[in-house]
Amino acid sequence: MLFSALPFCLFAQDKWDLRRCVEYAMKNNVSVRQADIQARIAALQVKQAQLNQYPNASLSSNIGLQLGRSIDPTTNQFTTTQLIYNSFGLNGGVEVFNWGRLKNLRSAAGFNARAALADIEKSANDIALTVATYYLQALAARQQIDIVQIQIAQTLSQLSVTRNKVNAGSLPELNLAQTEAQLATDSSNFITAQSTYRQNLLALKGALSLDPATSFEIETPPIEQVPLEDIMTLQPEAVYVVASQSFPQLRANDLRIKMAETNIQVARAQLYPSISVGYNLGTSFSNSFKGVDFANPQLNGYKSSGLITTINGTNYNVLQPNVTYSDVHRNIFNVWDGYGNQVTHNFRQSVGFSINVPIFNNGSYRINYERSKLDLKSYELQKEQSARQLKLDIYTAYNNAITAMEKFNAGRKSVEAAQKAYDFASKRYEVGLLSTIDLITSQNNLLTAKLQQLNSQFEYVFRMKLLEFYKGQGLKL
């Protein structure tokens, strides 16, 4: 038969319930992971803002060969002598007064980092709602498969009874053909239900960031036993009051408003002077440095000392020895001779204050200040819009829950009436008082009523769970 030949792969070793799906999605979904990366970046910005308040320091060194006319780094005089030079420097500074700009930058970065953490929660909540939607759709499709299977079993039973009656001559062959056509329709509905179920599973895998080829099956809880809170405890205004205090997107908006307020202070500080302290330590070496050979003086006669003495009324110039010393050059072949002494001799230090007064910078600081005030207004409007949207979503969810509950209650009566009609039609068909087409019509009416009731039931459960979620109770079945 067609039914027995249909593929029906609905079994897997590992089954996932809604809680497991939601927890897995919160850890592995791409949007949640991306929000986590942004939060880490914001944390690094906080660390950078903290470190900006500390003094900075940098060490430099260079070594090279000078040729031609150049300045000797140890004497700061022009020379044409080829020389090797080497220098070291340590410099840095700190901004000691800036109208609180660095402090406010750190505070603004902190608010932004906390808002980024709230964004992770928001992304997790969004993906949790998406997962719950796909999960319940897959459950509904799974239940539809079960209903169609029951329908096929009933049609097979009718086909057996009809064939026996046709063979006995009590019914025409048309009745058998009509029953076989109904079986083909039921089999087609079965294939459609299977396809819908597989598509819903694929959508759920996508929300979970699972490989589509992964073996995956969902747990089917008894939908009638899913605990639901009383609708009277889920009044929209009360739910909104709770949600407005706990929902992460509203916390993120509050934090970004504080960040924007602090950024206004940062931008304003740039309009005023700032004071910094800087320091510099350095030394240098050159192989052209000349030393003096004091151990080997040379007498080159005598020269006037500039003094005059009088002897017997006669004035005489006072002479003194003309002593010279030879220079000791550090040539390129003994470049390190006296290196330590020269580096010590040339050691220099400096420390100073600097004042930076912004006079004209093409209006960039003033424009940044005005823009920071507009950013604050933008975040305030964003907070207002988010709050209104949240309230609208809660009221919409409440109205949808009321509608789904009414449809679910009405559907019970429809199923009961369709079941009674089908039972009567079956009994009349068995005694030959009802045609096959009328029986099939009654059977299809029952199937339609059950499917509609099933959809209403899952819709009702989902809408109630959504209200519970807004109330801060999470998503669980």
Contact between 443 and 216 (Cβ < 8 Å): no
Residue 168 has pLDDT above 70, yes or no: yes
Kind and range of the H or E run holding 328: strand 327-329
**pLDDT tens sequence across 455-466:** 788 788 888 888
Of the two residues 289 and 29, the one the predictor is more confident about is 29
Residue 157 has pLDDT above 90, yes or no: no
Domains of the chain: 2-60+105-274+361-470 (1.20.1600.10), 291-329 (no CATH)
| 3-state SS class at 214 | coil
Residue 400 exposure: Cα atoms within 13 Å on the Cβ side: 18
Which value, in Å, is the radius of gyration of the alpha carbons in the chain?
46
pLDDT tier for residue 4 given thresholds of 50, 70 and 90:
very low
Nearest to 96 by CA among 46, 53, 50, 58: 53
pLDDT at 332: 41
Give the number of other Cβ atoms within 10 Å of residue 235's Cβ: 13
pLDDT at 254: 95
Q: Round to whole Å and give the CA distance between 373 and 263.
A: 9
Nearest to 247 by CA among 79, 72, 428, 474: 474
**pLDDT tens sequence across 11-27:** 445 788 888 888 899 88
Cα four-point dihedral sign 28, 30, 31, 33: positive
Contacts of 16 (CB under 8 A, 6+ apart): 24, 216, 217, 218, 219
pLDDT tier for residue 201 given thresholds of 50, 70 and 90:
very high
**By CB neighbour count within 10 A (0-12 exposed, 13-18 middle, 19+ buried), where does 267 fall?**
buried
pLDDT tier for residue 278 given thresholds of 50, 70 and 90:
very high
**pLDDT tens sequence across 385-420:** 999 999 998 999 899 888 888 888 888 888 888 888
pLDDT at 5: 39
